[in-house]
Structure 1
Amino acid sequence: MSGTYDVIVVGMGGMGSAACWQLARRGLRVLGLERFDLGHAMGSSHGLNRIIRLAYFEHPSYVPLLRRAYELWREAETLTREQLLFITGSIDGGPEGSHVVEGSLASCREHNLPHEVLTAAETAGRFPGYRLPEDYLAVFQPDGGFVASERAILAHTGLAIGAGATIHAREMVREISPRSGRVVVTTDRASYEAGRVIVSAGGWISDLIPALKGKAVAERQVLGWFQPKVPALFTPERFPVSNVLTDFGHYYQFPTWGIPGFKIGLYHHLHESGHAESLSREPTPRDEEILRAGMSRLFPDANGSTLRLSACLFTNTPDEHFVIDTLPGSPDIIVASPCSGHGFKFASVVGEILADFATDKRSPFDLSLFSFDRLAA
């Protein structure tokens, strides 16, 4: 063996880097393994930032996790003296009765979140960058915003190293094998042993966890940044992050930040799924065309010249909820992905939850929505 640890974390993206920090700060011997460079652009967390929002249309059960996530993002900011969480407010828009609007309202009402329901005209009056169809509604929640995702991974990793963790980049895991109460992790460089292993390998997770083959499927996404025609309308002070469901796609948006352009994406983009290695990272004219289709109709004052296009991966389960659980039959292996394209905002709290799993501490959260067993049906 080349090393023995209390916990090995496979994959140093959003979830893995946070888990390494939480484990190391508890005094455990931790090894983090990353097959690419730290902060690489092959997975799911690059492109500068990711939306965070409390009004969670996907399911009200996520809201308690989000509240803790906000606390932990703020703690990481304090410790690193770097801003990672930016508050702009959030909008969930769509036709009245749509799952985005009704789901957002359900979370707000169940958890007593401050919110307003705006008509399309009211939305445009308050946030002039928006041009929703006249019969749409928008749920505005003031606590939404975005996390600086690339910086957050580096921040968590730095905190983990500062607490004593060992991190290896450019080292690919080939096999994870339970053996007599321990787990052996074999890479292209060495073998390591630990009491517990956390697997947070994103689009490559089914290579390491065969039970997820066909149930954790990578999907190609492309994000675009465009130079606004009216830049003043798309600053963080005047443009809330948003999800807008339309009959021509479900778009998500960010104000200008980092790159001097309006950022937009489309869920399920061109419906291109497959193995993480087979999906192209090179944007195409068709990618730009489909992003402009939404921008021209919903945010016409943002529809200027192209500044950047960037491909990333979502790794989806059939129901698009996460997997956060021990591996059936192998309780010393903890699975922490896929996150189905909406997971990064939770990275801070998932790291804490994974540390609880690895130390046999009962989580205060209801994690039944993320059980492994549900995928067996």
Structure 2
Amino acid sequence: MTKPRIGVIGVGSMGSMVLWQLAKAGVEAVGFEQFGIGHDRSAAGGESRMFRTAYMEGADYVPLLKASRKLWEELGEETGLELLTLCGGLMIGPRDHPRIANVIRSVREFAIDHEILEAEETMRRYPQHRLGEGEIAVLDREAGFMRPELAVFAAAERAETLGAVIHRHTEVEAIEETAAGVRVSAGGRSHEFDRVIVTAGPWTARFFPALEENLVPRKIVMTWYLSSEPARFASESFPVFGRVGGPIDIFGVPALEGTMTKIGSVDTFGDVPDPGALHRDVELAELRHINGEVERCMNGLRPDPARISVHMDGYTTDEHAVVGAVPGSERLFVMGGYSGHGFKLAPVMGEIGKDLVLTGSTAHGIDHLAPGRYLS
């Protein structure tokens, strides 16, 4: 039986993992990437990403996260690279906040190794944080951080080692279903495939115009802060964290290179009308909210960022991704709109993408991500 030929549009967070999984399955897989591998023009830049198992966005994600962790470790073993570091994570906020309720439901329903800490105990054990009355912290011992650029590079390189082909610096101009399959026009050439999966991040709606109202590219700004005692913010004593219930929601990652601690805002910085023309300048006034939260909630960090980087992601109306077959087609599939919280899921999404294009279904629970809610 002839093996199917699969096209993957976009070799970033998701596409690199799909290619890795397809190549492991012995399938002929071809990826197209308009930039280089591990670039910083989309959602995978910025040195680090949080890995959380106790999930603020809902317990539906926990089985996917547990499966993703195993695959992160598998990719690390195959490549010899440290891609995931488990240093624990604190989910902080008012006890009655809906997202803290989601975290507590997650840890109890799925037996996640955890501890629930009152405000005073949290500040005693983690004096880098300030908590107010009514706030608690859930310590998720199965949390940590990932190296996003390195991970994309590792998955793509591993896929190529296993037989995949990647066309770098090759923009896809069009995708067209034909009687025999799917035609991809890229870099001035035509390529024929049995099936195609679009993993184009902020560019996803370019290929599916019906998504434009419900999947919008947005600007993300990441910020790093200095301390006179940087050792206090090393991973050995400063777990990753997410914090809700203040003027803005924030997150943090330890000082990975020894001097600066990444504290970021969950809020986005406006829509990006053209993802090919991302405006990378940041006005000082745009940072007043995140600087204010660093000053209000953190001990030992100067509330003035020493480093700033700008990225973007595709955000859906309900902030859950669009994953599955395009309605009305058995040859086209889409994975996009991860809304700023998808990277930790990338390896399991690679497995899901492989399942979908080869069999049309997957054993992983993705009903809440069905494209039909936006595409008809």
Same-fold call, TM cutoff 0.5: yes
Alignment partner, residue 259 of structure 2: 260
Structure 2 distance, partners of 1:175, 1:376, is: 19
Q: 1:135: Cα distance to partner?
A: 2.5
Alignment partner, residue 14 of structure 1: 13
**Identity level (%):** 32
Q: Deviations over 1:289-325 (max 9, x none)?
A: 3321111111131226633100111211111111111
Q: 1:272: Cα distance to partner?
A: 4.0
More displaced stretch, 27-36 vs 227-236: 227-236
Amino acid at match of 2:106: S
Structure 2 distance, partners of 1:272, 1:178, is: 30
- Residue 134 (structure 1) aligned with residue 148 (structure 2): no
Q: 1:316 to 1:346 in 2, by over 3 A?
A: same
Amino acid at match of 1:154: F
Structure 1 distance, partners of 2:258, 2:309, is: 12
Alignment partner, residue 61 of structure 1: 60
Q: How does 1:1-377 map to 2 (within 5 A)?
A: 6-258=5-257, 260-303=259-302, 306-360=305-359, 362-375=361-374
Q: 1:223 to 1:259 in 2, by over 3 A?
A: farther
Secondary structure of the structure 1 residue equivalent to 2:244: strand
Q: Deviations over 1:98-124 (max 9, x none)?
A: 122111011111112122211222111
**Residues 144, 241 of structure 1: 8 Å contact kept:** yes
Q: 1:362: Cα distance to partner?
A: 3.9
Alignment RMSD (CA, Å) = 1.7
Secondary structure of the structure 2 residue equivalent to 1:105: helix
Q: 1:5: Cα distance to partner?
A: 7.0
**Residues 295, 303 of structure 2: 8 Å contact kept:** no
Secondary structure of the structure 2 residue equivalent to 1:205: helix
Q: Deviations over 1:184-225 (max 9, x none)?
A: 011232111101101010111101111211111011110011
Amino acid at match of 1:206: A
Q: Deviations over 1:124-145 (max 9, x none)?
A: 1111111122321111111100
Q: 1:247: Cα distance to partner?
A: 3.0
Secondary structure of the structure 2 residue equivalent to 1:153: helix
Amino acid at match of 1:292: N
Structure 1 gap segments, 5+ residues each: none
Structure 2 distance, partners of 1:71, 1:258, is: 26
Secondary structure of the structure 2 residue equivalent to 1:351: helix
Structure 2 distance, partners of 1:368, 1:264, is: 33
More displaced stretch, 108-117 vs 18-27: 108-117
Structure 2 distance, partners of 1:71, 1:25, is: 16
More displaced stretch, 11-20 vs 237-246: 237-246
**Residues 5, 31 of structure 1: 8 Å contact kept:** no
**Residues 115, 142 of structure 1: 8 Å contact kept:** yes
**Residues 216, 271 of structure 2: 8 Å contact kept:** no
More displaced stretch, 117-126 vs 263-272: 263-272
Q: 1:34 to 1:359 in 2, by over 3 A?
A: same
Q: 1:80 to 1:131 in 2, by over 3 A?
A: same
Amino acid at match of 1:318: T
**Residues 228, 304 of structure 1: 8 Å contact kept:** no
More displaced stretch, 263-272 vs 110-119: 263-272
Secondary structure of the structure 2 residue equivalent to 1:38: coil
Q: 1:326: Cα distance to partner?
A: 0.6
Secondary structure of the structure 2 residue equivalent to 1:134: coil
Between Structure 1 and Structure 2, how many residues are aligned?
Answer: 374
**Residues 7, 195 of structure 1: 8 Å contact kept:** yes
Structure 2 distance, partners of 1:259, 1:127, is: 18
Amino acid at match of 2:372: D
Secondary structure of the structure 1 residue equivalent to 2:56: coil
**Residues 93, 100 of structure 1: 8 Å contact kept:** no
